[in-house]
Amino acid sequence: MKAYERLLRYAAVDTQSNEDSADVTPSTKKQFDLVRLLTEEMEALGLERVYSDEHAYTYGYLPATPGMEDKPVIGLIAHIDTAPDFSGTGVKPVLHPDYDGGDVVLGESGRVLSPVQFPDLSDCVGQTLITTDGTTLLGADDKAGVAEILTACEELIRSGAPHGGIAVCFPPDEEIGHGAALLDIERFGADFAYTVDGDAVEEINFETFNAAGARFAVKGVNVHPGSAKDIMVNASLVAMEINALLPPEEIPARTEGYAGFFHLTDMSGSVSEAELKYIVRDHDAGRFQARCDTLRDIERAMNEKYGAGTVALTLTEQYRNMAEIIGGHMEIVDRAKAAIEKAGLEPVVRPIRGGTDGAQLSFRGLPCPNLGTGGAAFHGPYEHITVEHMDQAVQVILGIVGA
């Protein structure tokens, strides 16, 4: 079975995670639907030690071929959940053979996938483009990674090509930051690993943001507006003032590369109370700390201005830049570079403007850079990938495990 055929099967299974249920893993029971499918498929392929636990982590193992038992065990990881940002129910993948490089009308949704907005489409010309009908996300993040890993395993079993041991794991809830939290590294059994969860096939990522979540809770004083002078504290206006104190250029829409940002993700409010939620990101540890200090300074200034207890800031560390760990294991990055070159591509090392399960796993003692799946425009209706890029991703995986 080709990788794209697996993706089409997996895309039909709704596995969206839910950040409102993040205290339970998996955050949605429907993720078990894909767990059951993958467990059956891995057993049918001939993988050993196939196991899924009560938290929807699915493990498998492909033993080393004779004479390769002394080689390191390489781990391959791809998450099964899809992002809660946009609907993942009733996904209807659409294939566009021999893509001509122009606009693609996404069903009757009124949406158009355009190379003006998504320049990566220029690399898809002549290939079979896979999109949705514009009403859902596709789920290639990261069902494409799952499909590519299992297709590579199937090819190794079919061909008998020599390889060391290969450990496979498909965790849940990566999209809400919990994918690596309960991964059993001892059961997994890898010496090092790769997440297959990135964009372009030729990319390798071993630098992530340092990341935190921030929440401002604002308590107002609500009285009749006719007698409000020097008494009323409008919580919604205080929240607006808080956001106005942040640098306007340091937001995702105006930054790229290594530049960090403050990203307002949610806001709600009334006169009596208001709430602002942010994600805070920076690749540099010092600048990241400065961003967190800025938020603390704003909390202090607001309470000095409006009274103690008006504003309460909660900062929660989410992950750190995994370059701190992988910088001491660059041989696994070099292995990936060599595999990408073997697949006929030019390796590109690029920082992730986000995080992966590999960030947490690296700090838990399992060095874990990230590989590309060939997909793009994740988390929304414009998500797309090609059959050919998925085939290339399979070849990269084969090059890594057979190095």
Query: For 357-402, what is the HEC assignment?
Result: HHHHHHHCCCCCCEEECCCECCCCCCCEEEHHHHHHHHHHHHHHHC
Which part of the chain is CATH 3.40.630.10? 3-207+321-401
Whole-angstrom CA distances from 215 to 174, 210, 292 are 21, 17, 12
The DSSP output letter for 221 is B
Candidates 148, 196, 79; CA nearest to 386 is 148
pLDDT surpasses 90 at 353: no
DSSP per residue over 324-336, as a string? Answer: HHHTT-HHHHHHH
Q: Is 230 a catalytic residue?
A: no
The rounded distance, in Å, linking the Cα atoms of 397 and 148 is 8
Q: pLDDT above 90 covers what percent of the chain?
A: 94
| Residue 361, token pair as written in the block | 């796993």
Give the separation between CA 236 and CA 222, rounded to whole angstroms: 11
Query: What is the predicted pLDDT for the residue at 23?
Result: 87
Overall average pLDDT of the 288-300 stretch: 98
Q: How far apart are CA 213 and CA 62, in angstroms?
A: 38
Q: In the structure, what pLDDT confidence band is assigned to residue 383 with cuts at 50, 70 and 90?
A: very high
Start-to-end CA span in the chain (Å): 24
Per-residue model confidence (pLDDT) at position 318:
85
Q: Tell me if 214 sits within 8 A of 278, measured CB to CB.
A: yes
The torsion region of residue 344 among left (phi > 0), alpha (psi -120 to 50) and beta comes to: left
- The count of C-alpha atoms lying within 13 angstroms of the C-alpha of 353, restricted to the half-sphere facing its C-beta, is 15
Section 204-232 average pLDDT: 96
Q: For residue 102, which of 112, 94, 111, 114 has the smallest C-alpha distance? A: 114
CATH number belonging to domain 3-207+321-401: 3.40.630.10
Q: How far apart are CA 394 and CA 401, in angstroms?
A: 11
List of E strands, 21-108? 48-52, 58-62, 74-77, 94-96, 104-106
Average pLDDT, the chain: 96
Residue range 210-318 forms a domain whose CATH class is alpha beta
d(CA 258, CA 281): 10
Tokens 């053979």 belong to 97
The burial class, CB within 10 Å (0-12 / 13-18 / 19+), for 338 is middle
Annotated catalytic residue, options 14, 81, 141, 142: 81
Between β-strands 104-106 and 111-113, what pairing exists: parallel, antiparallel or unpaired?
antiparallel
Predicted pLDDT of residue 331: 97
318, 324, 326, 331 alpha-carbon torsion, rounded to 10° = 170
Per-residue pLDDT band for 108 (boundaries 50, 70, 90) equals very high
174 catalytically annotated: yes
Segments of the chain assigned to CATH 3.30.70.360: 210-318
pLDDT at residue 297, rounded to an integer: 98
* Catalytic hit among 41, 148, 173, 174: 174
| pTM across the whole model | 0.88
Is the C-alpha dihedral spanning 168, 170, 171, 174 positive or negative? positive
SS3 at position 174: helix
Q: Map tokens 């993700």 to a residue.
A: 265
Strand 370-372 to 203-205 pairing:
antiparallel
Kindly report, residue by residue over 29-42, the tens digit of the pLDDT: 999 999 999 999 99
C-alpha to C-alpha distance for 48 and 50, rounded to whole angstroms? 5
Distances (CA, A) of 141 to 8, 156, 197, 338, 401: 13, 24, 7, 24, 22
DSSP 8-class letter at 16: B
pLDDT at 403 over 80: no
Name the pairing type of β-strands 192-198 and 74-77.
parallel
For the segment 63-90, what is each residue's pLDDT rounded down to a tens digit? Answer: 999 999 999 999 999 999 999 989 999 9
Residue with tokens 């950040």: 19
| Residue 355 clears pLDDT 90, i.e. is over it | no
